[in-house]
Structure 1
Amino acid sequence: MPNLKPLNSKISSYMRNGLVEEAQKLFDKMPLRNTVTWNAMIRGYFINGRFVEAVNFFDQMPERDIFSYNTVIDGMMQCGDVDGAREVFDGMPFRDVVTWNSMVSGYIRNGMIYKAVEAFDGMLLKDVISWNATIFGLGENDQGEEGLKLFIRMKESGPSADKATFTSVLTICSDLPTLQFGKQTHADVIKSGFNSFISVSNAMITMYARCGSMHSALLEFSSMSSHDIISWNSIICGYAHHGNAEKSLEMFERMRLTDIMPNHITFVGVLSACSYAGLVDQGRYYFDFMKSKCCLQPEIEHYTCIVDLLGRFGLIDEAMNFLDQMRADGVEVPASVWGALLGACRIYKNIEVGKVAGGRVLEVDPCNSGVYLILAELFLSGGKREEAEKIWAQMKENGVKKQPGCSWIEVNRSAHIFLSGDSSHPEFSRVCCVLDLIHMELEIKISESNAVSFQQIKVPFDGHYG
């Protein structure tokens, strides 16, 4: 049997560099081939997006090994052929942990989180990749609390967590958000020795920032020996999100002193900071700086920030001119930008522009209850009750209902969600009793305060206050 390793390596190299036809020619010329040869062709076809050829090669293989099956399952999942991957999986004479991980990851990639969890639970042997993929998938599919529960299971009976585990868990803590669990995870990170990994530190900065603890976010940022673009973006956007424009712009200027170039996300944070603080001149400067100096084409978020900034400052006409310039540049004005302008019109009672902006949003999102309510409020404030009634009638005709207000609080590592007008919470009665007691206490304190203030008034001897 000749040594096929050089030729197999050459096929793999061709495929990695996109030279599919050269790889196919070499394969056809080979008088002898082994399983590795066939696997290299199948994997190469998948890498280059030629899924049909990959599956055809798999079907033609004289002999298959575990790598052949795993490659095809992973490739099929990547191209969305979940049923095909499942069929190959069910027909396998043997499976290993990589096979199961490919199924779990594939289900997650295709948005089938419940199937992924089912596959995970069916695994007799799980490695750290199995746990990480499932925790990550739960977080990405709005099942963050289940992801944290799985992490607790992993700590109790699974393998040791690695940097990917901690990154996923901290990301979930950011999204929920849950500061207490995030702090506990931070402690686990330090105990495990993963606090020196930049990806984990970045996740901790983001977690603290989104949970409202910017002091802790800055401490983590300052403790890092080096920073990448994600580190800087996390701290810049964190300060911007919490309305601290001065610190956000200060961190951006510090970033400019380094070798790291800002990206689109950086300028979302910078422009948001300018918008929150009403820094019109700085906003204009940084928007131009992004385009001219950093050669970054503005995206929807950047346009939204600028329109919001101009609108907050009452520069409605300039905001409209800005939108006209966008359209002249061939950029379609999205609903989010019109929404920002509508918000400004609400503040400054600009009915005419508000009517245009609201209409544009409703063209794209006719079920947006907030837009109807803002338009009705605008018309009422301008004395146009008939127009407001038309908006209410249109809202009713389209079956649009106002979304109830929502708030939540974390108590003892458990989130409690409250909706306006909803009394289904199991502790609803007790919460109402406590609120009544607080209200009574406040009334008593106010009465006592008023009585003391009245007694302190000095009345002149003649009974006049002149």
Structure 2
Amino acid sequence: MFCASWCVHLLKRTRTVSLNLNSWLNFSTQALATPCQPSSALPYLKPLNSKLSSFMKSGLVEEAENLFNEMPDRNIVTWNTMINGYFKNGEKEKAFSLLGSIPQPDIYTYNTVISGLIQVGDLSGARKVFDKMDSRDIVTWNSIIAGYVHKGVIDEAMQLFHEMPVGMRGKDTVVSWIVMVSGLAKEGRLVEAHKFYEKMPVKDSHACNSLIAAYIRIGELDQAEDLFRKSEQKDSDSWRQLINGLVTCGRLSGAFSLYLESPEKCHTTWNSLLLKLMESGATKPVHAFLEKLPYGDIVSWTNIIIGYFREGEVGAAVSLFYSMHHLDLTLCNVMICGLGENGLEEEGIKLFTRMKELGLSPDKATFTSILTICSELPALCLGKQVCVHVFKTGLNLTIEALEMFEEMRLSNVKPNELTFIAVLSACSHAGLVEKGRFGLIDEAMSFIDRMRADGLEVPVSVWGAILGACRVHRNVEVGAVAAENVLAIEPNRSGTYLILAELYASVERLNEAERVLTRMKNSGVKKQPGCSWIEMNNGGCAFLSGDKSHLEFDVEARVEIVQPCWHSG
């Protein structure tokens, strides 16, 4: 009972960390509480210690403390478990406080403290503990050396390595060797790292992989490959690192050959290799090769289809898609987007309607592609249905577009014209969800400012998108700016004059509207005949204003005959 209350008292102390540590180092050999039971005694403590460890691993510090305080007996494992748990959970003050009450700390206690101090960034404190120890084991040495390496203090780590007893640097204890090779390689000291590696009593794959990665990082692929070929400890990481390095540096032939040699075929590595090969225009050869080998998964085949679309081989992409036995959402999205971009909008719509039969639920990418297709076709009914579906699913494409744009800028990816058009289109369509949301027009203008800041010329299509949004929301000031910019690029665009005049008229500024129309007339700009599309009998029908050559003109003629009769009674 005395021990439990004394522990609670220690936990509540507020002395500084350095004071607790120094006090413990000075008096750790003295018994400050009830003598501690050896770990072999009191076998019933084993499940309790396991429970303590479980609490700490789960972050349940308070539960662990309650159990610790209720335990009638404790052994050294109990104390070490609590201290280790405190460090793991960032409770370093409590760990130091508890240290002072350990009756008989063992070497594991010291190692736990060293590891914990390094974990919280107190390397000097860890070194104090290390220097105070009368005897050290391999864990002690490895921990302190790893701590210095992690901090980048390589020379101090190297000095400690050479001070380590020779018996602890044998073939059965290569951890310190691995740590030193990895540390030197990470710091770019490859000559020293390679010397360390060559002196290792037993070559290790981790050390080898660290060196390979370092050589690849500085572009020394020949050195990396030479080390790889000579190593007898190659593992899957060794193969993956070298293949990826060759791919990154554009040595695709070598990467391809090495992949075929590898004993384990990693799909991720294979797919990254495929992408690089297809970027060089080798989609057909890669497709032919993939047909003969069992390495491909659905990601591989999706990449092949993307490659065909990129090269304009639409027929090959469609043929491959419909030959596949398993389809997923990503693959369908790629197809819908590719079909829409290559003039096969109706095929894209057919695939979209078939997705439900396949048990696939459309996502944001699906809706973005299909709405783009609907805007290019006289498919008003379908467009409305898709919009309703989007709203029902709660997808906020506008916010997603804005967030993605910002991520591009923060990642130093330079947006192009298509990027801005896509973002502005998302903003203007937001009126369907929240009518009167004027703030988006201001945001769109801020995008144009950023566009200029990125050194991009604002295309007429962007100004046209702004003008269209201003007409919907009756934002005259911004609309006038957008119209002037459109006319500066395309002065004979009659629609711009008419939209601006309509915008002025919608807010009762009739004088300005009249001036716009007069300016249009004086500039010799004539209104182009209006062209409209309508969805009729499951098909599209286009007609021009005043056109009397249309196949359905007889309907208009009959109306003209009937109207006088109607009015005459």
Rounded to whole Å, the distance in 2 between the matches of 1:46 and 1:278 is 59
Task: Quote the offset at 1:257 in angstroms.
Answer: 5.8
The one of 15, 28, 48 aligned to 2:69: 28
Q: Does 1:147 align with 2:190?
A: yes
- The 3-state SS of whatever aligns with 1:105 is helix
Match of 2:454 in 1: 342
Q: Does 1:216 align with 2:254?
A: yes
The one of 276, 299, 303 aligned to 2:408: 303
- The 3-state SS of whatever aligns with 1:95 is coil
Task: Quote the offset at 1:299 in angstroms.
Answer: 7.4
Match of 2:208 in 1: 166
Match of 2:163 in 1: 122
Q: Are the structure 2 counterparts of residues 17 and 236 from structure 1 closer, same or farther at C-alpha, using a change threshold of 3 Å?
A: farther
Q: Are the structure 2 counterparts of residues 77 and 171 from structure 1 closer, same or farther at C-alpha, using a change threshold of 3 Å?
A: same
Task: Quote the offset at 1:184 in angstroms.
Answer: 1.5
The one of 82, 85, 89 aligned to 1:41: 82
1:18-64 CA deviation, whole Å, 9 max, x = no partner?
A: 33222222222222222111111112222222222223223322212
Is 2:271–2:299's contact at 8 Å kept on the other side of the alignment?
A: no
Is 1:135–1:169's contact at 8 Å kept on the other side of the alignment?
A: yes
Rounded to whole Å, the distance in 2 between the matches of 1:283 and 1:302 is 26
Match of 2:245 in 1: 207
- The 3-state SS of whatever aligns with 2:129 is helix
Rounded to whole Å, the distance in 2 between the matches of 1:321 and 1:245 is 35
Q: Does 1:12 align with 2:58?
A: no
Normalised by the length of structure 1, the TM-score is 0.54
Rounded to whole Å, the distance in 1 between the matches of 2:263 and 2:284 is 21
Q: Are the structure 2 counterparts of residues 216 and 37 from structure 1 closer, same or farther at C-alpha, using a change threshold of 3 Å?
A: same
Matches within 5 A, 1:59-98: 59-98=100-139
Match of 2:42 in 1: 2
Is 2:215–2:223's contact at 8 Å kept on the other side of the alignment?
A: yes
Q: Does 1:57 align with 2:95?
A: no
Match of 1:258 in 2: 297
Q: Are the structure 2 counterparts of residues 50 and 115 from structure 1 closer, same or farther at C-alpha, using a change threshold of 3 Å?
A: same
Match of 2:388 in 1: none
Rounded to whole Å, the distance in 2 between the matches of 1:248 and 1:302 is 35
One-letter identity of the residue aligned with 2:239? S
Q: Which runs of 5+ in 2 are unaligned?
A: 1-40, 314-332, 339-361, 367-394, 429-438, 444-449, 460-569
Match of 2:236 in 1: 198
Match of 1:366 in 2: none
One-letter identity of the residue aligned with 2:98? F
Q: Are the structure 2 counterparts of residues 290 and 5 from structure 1 closer, same or farther at C-alpha, using a change threshold of 3 Å?
A: same
Is 2:212–2:241's contact at 8 Å kept on the other side of the alignment?
A: yes
- Residues paired across the two proteins, number: 322
% same residue: 30
- The 3-state SS of whatever aligns with 1:80 is coil
Q: Are the structure 2 counterparts of residues 308 and 6 from structure 1 closer, same or farther at C-alpha, using a change threshold of 3 Å?
A: closer
Match of 1:428 in 2: none
Normalised by the length of structure 2, the TM-score is 0.45
Rounded to whole Å, the distance in 1 between the matches of 2:140 and 2:311 is 53
Is 2:118–2:126's contact at 8 Å kept on the other side of the alignment?
A: yes
Rounded to whole Å, the distance in 2 between the matches of 1:132 and 1:17 is 30
- The 3-state SS of whatever aligns with 1:33 is coil
Rounded to whole Å, the distance in 1 between the matches of 2:120 and 2:103 is 25
Matches within 5 A, 1:284-299: 292=365
Task: Quote the offset at 1:305 in angstroms.
Answer: 11
- The 3-state SS of whatever aligns with 2:104 is coil
- The 3-state SS of whatever aligns with 2:100 is helix
The one of 200, 209, 224 aligned to 1:182: 224
Is 1:237–1:248's contact at 8 Å kept on the other side of the alignment?
A: no
Q: Are the structure 2 counterparts of residues 307 and 104 from structure 1 closer, same or farther at C-alpha, using a change threshold of 3 Å?
A: closer
Q: Which runs of 5+ in 1 are unaligned?
A: 332-337, 352-466
Q: Are the structure 2 counterparts of residues 82 and 306 from structure 1 closer, same or farther at C-alpha, using a change threshold of 3 Å?
A: closer
Q: Are the structure 2 counterparts of residues 320 and 291 from structure 1 closer, same or farther at C-alpha, using a change threshold of 3 Å?
A: closer
1:120-153 CA deviation, whole Å, 9 max, x = no partner?
A: 343333332112112222333xx32x23532333
Rounded to whole Å, the distance in 1 between the matches of 2:363 and 2:294 is 14
Rounded to whole Å, the distance in 1 between the matches of 2:276 and 2:254 is 11
One-letter identity of the residue aligned with 1:69? Y
1:252-280 CA deviation, whole Å, 9 max, x = no partner?
A: 9999963889xxxx99xx99x99x9999x
Q: Are the structure 2 counterparts of residues 33 and 174 from structure 1 closer, same or farther at C-alpha, using a change threshold of 3 Å?
A: same
Match of 1:411 in 2: none
Q: Are the structure 2 counterparts of residues 103 and 252 from structure 1 closer, same or farther at C-alpha, using a change threshold of 3 Å?
A: farther
Task: Quote the offset at 1:177 in angstroms.
Answer: 1.7
Task: Quote the offset at 1:320 in angstroms.
Answer: 7.0
CA RMSD of aligned residues (A): 5.2
Task: Quote the offset at 1:96 in angstroms.
Answer: 2.0
Match of 1:235 in 2: 273
Rounded to whole Å, the distance in 2 between the matches of 1:59 and 1:158 is 40
Is 1:182–1:207's contact at 8 Å kept on the other side of the alignment?
A: no
- The 3-state SS of whatever aligns with 1:60 is coil
